[in-house]
Structure 1
Amino acid sequence: MSRRYQLTDAQWGLIEPQFPSRSLIGRPTREPRQVLDGILWILHTGAPWRDLPERFGPWNSVYNTFRRWQDAGRIDAILEALQLKLNEEGLINFDLWCLDGSNVRASKDAAGARKKNTSMNQALGRSRGGFGSKIHLVTDGHGLPLSFCLSPGQSAEISYATSALAMARIPTSSGRYRTRPAHLAADKAYSSKAFRAELRRRRIKAVIPQRSNQQRRHKGRPLVLDKVHYRRRNVVERCFGWLKKFRRFSTRYEKLAKSFAAFIKLAFCLRYLRELCVDRKPAF
């Protein structure tokens, strides 16, 4: 049997503690690993839920479990546990974080949420690229995804810069969170006085070039761009390229923003597991 897109034993061992032991009372439930492998198959292939292979169980059971895990915060718990492990092993770069946005086209199936859930509430809108969503992504200096937020496709990137950065909360063993890097790199779309002031307030050095019209109007000491750190900004673009290999990411099929966000978080988790399960022992 092909195990393509399924977790290895080492990867499952890192996230198994986030699932409660099976109860001996009541209707027996499916193994969490089997269900999670089914959800990851959907994430990779972008296939409809009804096309889920039988080896993962009935598609509607896997789908309903996916929805329950969203509502119960199970996926968030897995994400935070893996971020804690990465932080403890020194695999998160706090010297430089990078910020960027990218549009994702939405399928026609993504439209049609209940009327009380408007398109704006579900982070859907029409831009020059078509109908879809915009993902505002924060990575560390190595291209490791840390946080994101969703907005309608026509939204300006600067409008969600503060929100995306605020979502980056890296847990520590003391129970507190690290929420800021030494430097933040972003392109000219994020060059605004308000955002630069917010970064200064948080004691983060902005690595953001000015737009040409801002340079002409700027008074006082000219802003100096840290070119060494700015050259590394492309890691966030490469991270987007990696994420868009997941077909459930590259095209949005979910009507609800929380369901689309859950798939993005699972993609983050796969990146974390890849980092944590690499054999870093020196070769002799």
Structure 2
Amino acid sequence: MVSARPFRLDHRIVGPDVPSTDAQWARIEPLLPDRTPVRDRRTVIDAIAFKFQTGPQWVHLPEKYGNWRGVCNRLRIWAIDGARESVFTALMAQADAHEDLDWTVSVDSTTVRAHQHAAGARKKGSFAGEPDDHAIGRSRGGLTTEIHLAADARCRPPAFVLTAGQAGDAPAFTDVMACLRVPRRRGRPRTKPDVVLADKAHSSRAIREHLRRRGIRAVIPVPADQHGHRLRRGSRGGRPPAFDREAHKQRSTVERCINRLKQWRGIATRCEKTATICLAGLHIAGIFLWSA
């Protein structure tokens, strides 16, 4: 989808539409909950996509999308009952059924700045599972949110995890792995990738043991300090972990996936007060990427 920069006129956002294509809508519509009014479904999806891709405030949605409060409430309902995540997961399942999902997974994270509109939510989460800090923390860049994600070989995200901006990559790794869940027509959902590619920030004994225990091949480089520590210990340091330098070049897929997500302005800068709604926006972006 090619879009130009929108401009502001009379306090409304005027600019290019960000509608779903007919091909995308043909894949998305059968997966939506039955309780959503039929005549409003595509309008609601396009309105939510417009909001997160162009980044306006809810009140500045174009009039053709209807009342902005109705669109905002619909997103909130989908965020609470998990409807947007079920559509996201169903599209992954379709890709897996057509052998279009490569189970060589890259893992990384990116930091997004929290806009001043993201502040002010109640300390205790208003949704079930909402963290008390709303996944907003203070780092060198100010108030930020960390998006931990995985990406397949075609730069599509199968899993998201939100943490406060000062959180490290390694502690969230197992949560990202736990979110990898693709249903299949028969049997249990697949949760185990063949290979996991990650950067030096994920080179820890706990992560390597977690992957080894699950039978997943790890392609993670060893930092210089860990390498030096092993050499200083001599024979007690053990063998260095295997590292496939050529396979690790494929890790660029997660960087390109992050780049695609951050083309959505409402994701590159967080304006949502709660982590639940912010995560719902990521799933909406993921739905458009998986249905393209």
The aligned counterpart of 1:17 is 30
The aligned counterpart of 1:82 is 91
The aligned counterpart of 1:7 is 20
- Give the CA deviation at 1:143: 1.8
- Give the CA deviation at 1:185: 0.7
- Give the CA deviation at 1:20: 4.8
Residue 159 in 1 paired to residue 168 in 2?
no
Residue 144 in 1 paired to residue 156 in 2?
yes
Q: Deviations over 1:17-75 (max 9, x none)?
A: 2335579xxxx785111111111110111100000111111111111111112222210
- Letter matched to residue 230 of structure 1: H
> Aligned partners of 1:90 and 1:174: how far apart in 2?
15
CA 1:182 to 1:119, structure 2 compared with 1: closer, same or farther past 3 Å?
closer
RMSD: 2.0
The aligned counterpart of 2:108 is 100
- Letter matched to residue 8 of structure 1: T
Kept in 1, the 8 Å contact 2:124–2:131? The answer is no
SS in 1 for 2:159: strand
The aligned counterpart of 1:248 is 266
Task: Decide which of 124, 141, 145 is 1:129's aligned counterpart.
Answer: 141
> Aligned partners of 1:103 and 1:116: how far apart in 2?
23
Count of paired positions: 269
- Give the CA deviation at 1:142: 2.7
- Letter matched to residue 256 of structure 1: T
CA 1:244 to 1:115, structure 2 compared with 1: closer, same or farther past 3 Å?
same
CA 1:14 to 1:266, structure 2 compared with 1: closer, same or farther past 3 Å?
same
CA 1:185 to 1:130, structure 2 compared with 1: closer, same or farther past 3 Å?
same
The aligned counterpart of 2:244 is 226
SS in 2 for 1:31: helix
The aligned counterpart of 2:9 is none
Residue 266 in 1 paired to residue 274 in 2?
no
- Letter matched to residue 237 of structure 1: E
Structure 1 vs Structure 2: percent identity of aligned residues?
Answer: 39
TM-score w.r.t. length of structure 2: 0.87
- Give the CA deviation at 1:223: 2.1
Kept in 1, the 8 Å contact 2:219–2:247? The answer is yes
> Aligned partners of 1:125 and 1:22: how far apart in 2?
37
Residue 33 in 1 paired to residue 33 in 2?
no
> Aligned partners of 1:3 and 1:14: how far apart in 2?
23
Once structures 1 and 2 are overlaid, which stretch shifts more, 178-187 or 46-55? 178-187
- Give the CA deviation at 1:222: 2.2
> Aligned partners of 2:189 and 2:285: how far apart in 1?
22
Q: Deviations over 1:141-164 (max 9, x none)?
A: 232211010000000111101111
TM-score w.r.t. length of structure 1: 0.89
CA 1:22 to 1:98, structure 2 compared with 1: closer, same or farther past 3 Å?
closer
Kept in 2, the 8 Å contact 1:172–1:178? The answer is yes
Kept in 2, the 8 Å contact 1:119–1:125? The answer is no
- Give the CA deviation at 1:173: 1.4
CA 1:115 to 1:182, structure 2 compared with 1: closer, same or farther past 3 Å?
closer
CA 1:227 to 1:20, structure 2 compared with 1: closer, same or farther past 3 Å?
closer
Kept in 1, the 8 Å contact 2:85–2:283? The answer is yes
- Letter matched to residue 87 of structure 2: I
Kept in 2, the 8 Å contact 1:243–1:267? The answer is yes
- Give the CA deviation at 1:119: 7.5
Kept in 2, the 8 Å contact 1:120–1:152? The answer is no
The aligned counterpart of 1:208 is 220
Residue 192 in 1 paired to residue 204 in 2?
yes
CA 1:69 to 1:102, structure 2 compared with 1: closer, same or farther past 3 Å?
same
SS in 1 for 2:112: strand
- Give the CA deviation at 1:120: 5.0
- Give the CA deviation at 1:176: 2.1
Instruction: List structure 1 runs of 4+ shifted beyond 3 angstroms.
Output: 19-23, 117-121
- Give the CA deviation at 1:175: 5.1
The aligned counterpart of 1:51 is 60
Kept in 2, the 8 Å contact 1:18–1:74? The answer is no
